């Protein structure tokens, strides 16, 4: 919940305290619990389901993600239209998005779990997720070691700022959201038709 007068005005954030306020943490725990529950029920904590998607043989991951995107998008932009939420759009940096994305994908195939689903895999008793989690922590440190260099180089390549698809196509956002929601549903229908799993 945000105050209406803060809905559109980006403000300089006050320095973050070492431990965030308790209510915020409780909300995070409740939402994380729900997210973990859903990931497990969606089968996306399972090694063969995730690897199967990367082998283009099991389309469960695409079904979950595209459904989440379609529903999430329509609701979020409706809430935003009425000034109820802030958007949190990450800047588009072509070099970093592409190179980082490809490196991430290669690692994803080796682990068989992604950062969120590794936590879900651990919860459902797949202990090999622990090795991936250890790698994620070590890799985060390694990136921090490199971050002075990446910030001056890769992260400056093709920096377009916080740009959204409707800006790129020069169409009104509401029109885009409606058309895109329909397109996502059509794509989901096609996946459902041709990929039973």
Partner 1 sequence: MIPPDTAGPAWSPYLVGAAIGVLSWLTFYVSDKPIGASSFYAQVAGLLGKLIAPRRTGTLTYFKDNPPRIGWEFVFVAAIVLGSVIAAVTGGEFTNEWLPPMWVARFGDSIALRAAVAFGGGLLMAIGARLAGGCTSGHGISGTLQLSVGSWIAVICFFLGGIAVAIPLFKL
Binders of partner 1 among residues 67 to 96 (CB under 8 A) are: 67-73, 75-76, 79, 84-94, 96
- Interaction of residue 38 with partner 1, rule CB under 8 A: yes
Single residue of 4, 5, 8, 141 touching partner 1 by CB under 8 A:
141
- Interaction of residue 14 with partner 1, rule CB under 8 A: no
Residues whose CB falls within 8 Å of the CB of residue 14, separated by 6 or more in sequence, listed in order: none
Single residue of 10, 14, 18, 172 touching partner 1 by CB under 8 A:
18
CA 107 – CA 136 distance, rounded (Å): 10
Between residues 138 and 190, which has the closer beta carbon with respect to partner 1?
138
Single residue of 5, 13, 110, 193 touching partner 1 by CB under 8 A:
110
Residue pair 39/116 in contact (Cβ under 8 Å)? The answer is: yes
**At 161, is the secondary structure helix, strand, or coil?**
strand
Residue pair 152/86 in contact (Cβ under 8 Å)? The answer is: no
Single residue of 12, 46, 81, 183 touching partner 1 by CB under 8 A:
46
Residue pair 61/50 in contact (Cβ under 8 Å)? The answer is: yes
């Amino acid at each position: 919940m945000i105050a209406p007068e803060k809905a559109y005005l980006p403000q300089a954030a006050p320095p973050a305290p070492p431990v965030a306020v308790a209510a915020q943490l409780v909300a995070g725990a409740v939402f994380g619990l729900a997210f973990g529950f859903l990931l497990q029920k969606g089968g996306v904590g399972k090694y063969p389901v995730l690897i199967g998607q990367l082998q283009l043989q099991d389309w469960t991951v695409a079904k979950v993600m595209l459904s989440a995107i379609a529903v999430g998008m329509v609701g979020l932009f409706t809430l935003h239209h009425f000034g109820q939420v802030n958007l949190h759009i990450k800047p588009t940096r072509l070099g970093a998005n592409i190179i980082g994305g490809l490196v991430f994908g290669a690692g994803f195939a080796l682990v068989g779990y992604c950062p969120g689903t590794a936590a879900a895999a651990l919860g459902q008793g797949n202990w090999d997720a622990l090795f991936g989690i250890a790698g994620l922590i070590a890799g985060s440190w390694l990136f921090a070691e490199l971050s002075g260099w990446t910030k001056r180089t890769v992260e400056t390549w093709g920096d377009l700022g916080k740009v959204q698809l409707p800006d790129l196509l020069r169409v009104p956002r509401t029109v885009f959201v409606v058309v895109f929601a329909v397109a996502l549903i059509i794509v989901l229908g096609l996946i459902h038709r041709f990929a039973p799993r």
